[in-house]
A and B are shown apart, each in its own frame.
Chain A
Amino acid sequence: MNEPDIRDIWVYLSASPLLGLTITLIAYGLAYRLYLKANSSPFLNPVLTSVVMLIGLLMVTGTAYSRYFEGAQFVHFLLGPATVALAVPLYDQFARLRALWLPITISLVCGVLVAAGSSIGLAWLLGGSLEIQMSLAPKSATAPVAMGIADTIGGIPSLTAVLTVLTGITGAVTGTRLFELMRIRDDSVKGIAMGVAAHGIGTARAFQVSNQMGAFSGLAMALSAFATALLVPWLVDLMGI
């Protein structure tokens, strides 16, 4: 008698940040194992798989995102120090960076303009609303930057955060195959393209290929955050929006 009702336990747990944090780590752990089992197939990108698992779980249990995020914010918070930590691999690659500063600068500026221009243009062509065009424009920058820019140009910041993650996943899933098709073998070239197009998630994928690709991707992500903040509002003005 007096056995605890499973629902009471659930009510207790779902009110505590412990659950959101633990299921995030478990889902990612499972997703990562699955990814390794599949010989690191980019289609089983661990971010994608764990996001799908977690959304499924939250919907089945009727848990609100805000409730989940009370726990998950502890993981989310680490994005800050992880961004700062990118200085270390960057420093390790300094010799190559210095030799390549001019091509890097040119590719970066062009890449950022292509990312914003093509997403605005394509969304417009396909009948997307102005809000959607403006939410998509900064999607290749790292999430906190992209959200700030979306706010200044008339997009929806929280939607931009999601579009940014989806962009990162797209880049991480398709990038290495795309570079193979282009016959590009230089890890510094691949890293720059990955970081400009797919920010931190692309950079995480790049580190799985090599430290060099990761370092260049991290650099490109950091610099394109600057470039996006400076160039995208200007581009939007220029396009007369």
Chain B
Amino acid sequence: MTVIPVEKKVLSENQRIAASLRDRFEDHGTLCLNLISSPGSGKTTLLEQTLGGFRPEERVAVLTGDLQTENDAKRLARYGFPVQQITTGGVCHLDGKMIERALERWSLDAIDLLFIENVGNLVCPSSYDLGEEAKIVLLSVTEGEDKPLKYPSIFAKSELLVLTKVDLLPHVPFKMEEARANARLVHPGIEILELSCATGQGLEEWRTCLSRRRETALQRICAARA
């Protein structure tokens, strides 16, 4: 018997692809954001509101992942920006290869801001790097405020937590302060936004946050090239 030490990441193949995607995003100055949440937390609705707020000449695109259907892509395509559905056929997350394949159909030269809407799931997507600039996790007030403690990995890896459907707060037992505290326990530096697509509350902050991220990313890319 021979023991061969390996010491490799199990998902090293995905990480290799993610690193090459990250290089490509950097080269083209594309800001890529990976949106993750449980099913029904409002990722598609938030993206609809977001796309609706861009001017037609802005260079925005969306890759949306789903287990089976193409409904999300249809909803998002109405805003006139390029949208592609990645149907995973039962796989509960998007991986680097799926993103690479989808991008074969687009030129990153024409995309400044790329949203990836991951499959509705708080567990699996957290293990797969897609070369994104940042992961953004959504949590709706119709879920439990203990979700950050139950699924620490995704909250620890996300730079921004968006608490959605806050217009429903009077009708649900969700404890906002506890949710924020739980998220901060897992990830002390996490940025937190509260918003409601129904009333528009928080959407302005969300847009500001997007443009700030885009600016920071551009500055970093320019500094690296200089």
Are A and B associated in one complex?
no
Seen from chain A, the residues whose Cβ lies within 8 Å of a Cβ on chain B are: none
